[in-house]
């Protein structure tokens, strides 16, 4: 029997039960943001020489800066210089990789308004040069992430532009995309999902 300062008694059985509960491994998000999970995955790829993929910085025009201290600058006003293209790019197995990562709280569909025209145009240009483009979509409510290749994204985008449905149904994403489970390392192995997609189309 173990006594604690709060006066509450804990038996050995209680301690074992608590240890068993903590020993169960669950590879969910664990409070980690979607972007953090991708960044940790990219770092995993780099350290193991699998791929070199980074998040692109967004060009910003700084307009006003205050200096409350000589060693400290505070940006008070800034604007985006140009529309950003996609979130991530790099190289994998000799191929240029370019992708956008989006998340939605919607339970049944992904709103296409989350994608911008200039991002679609950029991905098409990369695709024409032989690069690999895709979309990573996280359904926050379900903690599910899917990889959707550009060719499938374009089908739903063109449907949207033609006056059709303004979103991609989760059932459609499950049909055309690949589920990427959260795991220990790498957190979101999207390159494995990309390889699975390539193998299924051979």
Beta bridge partners of 135: 100, 148
48-71: burial string, b at 16+ Cβ within 10 Å, e else: eebbebeeeeeeeeeeeeeeeeee
The answer to whether 121 is a known ligand-binding residue is no
Phi, psi (degrees; rounded to nearest 5) at 145:
-120, 135
* Residue recorded with tokens 């220990």: 184
Contact predicate 86/122, CB 8 Å: yes
The answer to whether 41 is a known ligand-binding residue is no
> E strand or H helix at 55, and its extent?
strand 52-55
The answer to whether 100 is a known ligand-binding residue is yes
The answer to whether 17 is a known ligand-binding residue is no
Binding-site residues for Mg(2+) = 85, 87, 100, 119
């Amino acid at each position: 029997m173990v006594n604690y300062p709060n006066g509450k008694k804990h038996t050995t059985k209680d301690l074992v039960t608590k240890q068993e509960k903590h020993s169960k491994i669950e590879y969910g998000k664990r409070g980690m943001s979607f972007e953090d999970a991708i960044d940790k995955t990219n770092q995993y790829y780099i350290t193991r020489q699998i791929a070199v993929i980074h998040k692109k910085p967004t060009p910003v025009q700084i307009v006003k800066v205050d200096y409350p201290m000589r060693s400290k600058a505070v940006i008070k006003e800034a604007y985006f210089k140009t529309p950003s293209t996609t979130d991530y790019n790099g190289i994998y197995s000799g191929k240029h990789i370019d992708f956008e990562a989006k998340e939605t709280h919607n339970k049944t569909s992904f709103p296409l308004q989350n994608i911008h025209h200039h991002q679609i145009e950029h991905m098409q240009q990369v695709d024409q040069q032989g690069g690999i483009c895709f979309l990573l979509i996280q359904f926050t409510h379900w903690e599910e992430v899917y990889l959707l290749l550009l060719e499938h994204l374009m089908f739903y985008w063109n449907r949207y532009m033609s006056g059709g449905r303004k979103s991609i149904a989760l059932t459609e994403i499950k049909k055309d995309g690949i589920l990427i489970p959260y795991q220990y390392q790498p957190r979101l192995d999207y390159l494995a999902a990309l390889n699975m997609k390539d193998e299924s189309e051979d």
